[in-house]
Chain A
Amino acid sequence: MSPLEDRLRTELSEEAEAVELRPEYVSGTVQQVLVGRRQRRIRALALAAAAIVIIVLSGVVLAGQGRDDSSPPVIDRATVQNLRQTERARLTALVEADMPAVQQVLADDFELITPDGTPLPRDAYLGAVASGDLDFKAYQPVTPIETRVYGDAAVLRYKSHIDVVAKGTGHRTDGAWHTCVYENRDGHWQIVWEQTTLVGQLPPEH
C-alpha cells in the first residue's frame, strides 16, 4: 500500500463521514419504493384490462378500422431520474457557459420568465450567457427536484442557490424557486418554459 493509497483511504473516509442523512429521507424513500411498486402493479393490471377491453371492442364495434394506439404512457422512475439529471446538467452547463450543452437542452421555443416578470426568449438567453452578460458563478438545486410526468410533458419544481453576475444588475446571490416545463421531443427531454421566483424578494415597484 503506497502513501498515496493511504491518503485516498483517509480522505475518502473524511468526505463520506461529512454526509448525513436527512431525517425524512428514509421514510420518503420507503414510501416511494413501496407505493411506487404497488402503483406500477395496479397500473400494469389496469393496462392489461384496458388492452383486453380495447381488443374486444375493436373486434365487435370497430371491425375493419385502425387499432387505437392511444393507451396512456407508463411513467417510470427512469423517466423521472432522466429528467432530474437533465435539469442538473443544464444548470452545470450554464455555470460552465457550455453553449453546445445548453443549446441541446433548450427547446427552440424556450422562454424564461425572469424574477422581475420579463419574458426572455431562447436566443436572448443564449446570447446573454455566451457573451458573459449573464455569468452564473454557481447554480444548483438545494431541494430535491420534484417531478411530475404527463406523457411527453413534465413539470419540475425545486429551490436553487444562484450566484450570478448580470450586466446592469450586478452581483447577486439568491435563493430562488423554479418551475420548469419539459417536453419529450424526438426522444430527448427539452425545457420549454421556465419560471423563476426569488426567495424573499418583493415584486419591483412601478
Chain B
Amino acid sequence: MARADAAFTEFVTTRSVSLLRTAYLLTGDRHLAEDLLQTALTKAYPLWGGIREPRAAESYVRTAMVRTLISWRKRHSWTRETAFAAPPEHPQAVAPGDDIESRTRLWPIVLTLPPRQRAVVVLRYYEDLTEPQTAEILGCSTGAVKSHNARALHTLRARLGEPEDAWRSS
C-alpha cells in the first residue's frame, strides 16, 4: 500500500498541471476543474495498486473526469451553464474577405456546447486523441463521436456566421 501511495503521489505531482488544464477546458471554470480532477483522482486511487503503466493511469483519470462531468451535468441539468469569469463574447457575422481570426474567438462558443460535444472537441483537438480513443473515454461508439464532433463544428460555424464551405480545407 505504501508503494501505491508513493506512486499515486508522484503521479499527482507530475501530471496534475496537464490534467487540470484538460479539466478546465471541459468545465470552463477553474474551481470546478479542481473539483473535477480531485473527484477523478479519488475514483482512480483504489485501482492504483493494479495500474502498472503510468499512461494507463492517466487515461483512467481522464476517462473518470469526462464521465464524472457528464454525470454532474445530468444531475444538474437545470443549471444549464457554468458561471464564467466574464460573459461570453458574442461573435459577429463575418463578411466575406474579413479577417476572421482578429474578430472572433472560438473558446466562448465552445463553452456553450453541450457536455458531450464539448468533451469530444477537447479530446480530439486539445488532447489530440483519435476517434476510437475518444469513443473509449466517452463510453460510446466511434460513430457517435463523429456525430458529436460534426454537430459541434456545425454549431461553431453557425455561431461564427460562416457558411459550411468557408471552413473546408481546399
- Which residues of A are interface residues toward B (Cβ below 8 A)? 1-5, 7-9, 11-13, 15-17, 19-22, 25-26, 29-30, 32-34, 36-37, 77, 81-82, 84-86, 88-89, 91-93, 95-96, 98, 100-101, 104, 138-141, 144-145
Contacts and interface: CB of A to CB of B under 8 A. Distances in A.
B24 A13 contact: no
Contact of A85 (B5, B72, B81): B72
A32 B34 CA distance: 13
A85 B82 CA distance: 10
A78 B154 CA distance: 35
Contacts of A30: 8-9, 12-13
Contacts of A13: 126
Interface secondary structure of B, over-half rule: helix
A186 B97 CA distance: 58
Interface of B: 5, 8-9, 12-13, 16-17, 20-22, 24-25, 29-35, 37-39, 41-42, 45-46, 72, 75-76, 78-83, 85, 101, 105-107, 110, 121-122, 125-126, 128, 153, 156-157, 167-169
Nearest to A94: B83
B167 A3 contact: yes
B85 A140 contact: yes
B169 A89 contact: no
A16 B168 contact: no
Contacts of A86: 76
B81 A92 contact: yes
